[in-house]
Structures are given as structure tokens and as C-alpha cells.
Amino acid sequence: MGFIYVQKQVQVVAFQIQTIEVNPKGVSYGGKILYLDGGAEIWSETVGQGDDAVAGDYVIFQSSGDRYRCPKDVFNAKYQLLAEVSA
């Protein structure tokens, strides 16, 4: 016998990646800065799967403090806008 499950409703704060700068400010180890909506910026290595990020993806901030990258197509299929927050 199988079971049918429905995903629990979850709210997240997310910002879309606008641009990515590789090796910024003379960094030589391959670091990337992800520039987000609203002017925020974050180092890729502080985001789960951040090194795989491309412009248009989203960075999701969870209440637990975790941050991870979500590809644009996955994000758009899974989430809908509830409210706007500032960066």
C-alpha cells in the first residue's frame, strides 16, 4: 500500500541573483560575489550550491539561518510572491 503526501506550506525570503562577479577585488581563489535584488551582495561560498549559481537563480534564506541557491525554473514552479521585503 502506498501513501499520498502533500508538501507542508513554507514561507521563505528569497532574492534573485542579478549578476555574478568572478574573482572580485583581486581574489585569486575563484571566489564569486552574487549581486541580488535590492542591491544586496553575498559571497557564493556562504550559499549552499552557490558556486553553481547563474544570473536569474534565487538565493533562499530560511528561518534556520541556512541559505541556498534555487534555480530559476525550480523556484518559479515552487513559490509564489506573498509580500515584498527589503534587502
Structure confidence by residue, pLDDT tens digits, 12-56: 899 999 999 987 776 666 678 999 998 999 999 899 998 899 999
Which band of pLDDT confidence, cut at 50, 70 and 90, is reported for residue 3?
A: confident
Measure the CA–CA gap between 9 and 35, rounded to whole angstroms: 28
Query: Mean pLDDT over residues 55-74, rounded?
Result: 93
Which of 29-33, 44-48, 72-76, 81-85 has the highest average model confidence (pLDDT)?
Answer: 72-76
- Residue 30's pLDDT is 67
Measure the CA–CA gap between 87 and 48, rounded to whole angstroms: 19
Q: Where are the domains of the chain?
A: 13-78
At 24, phi and psi to the nearest 5?
-70, 150
- Residue 22's pLDDT is 86
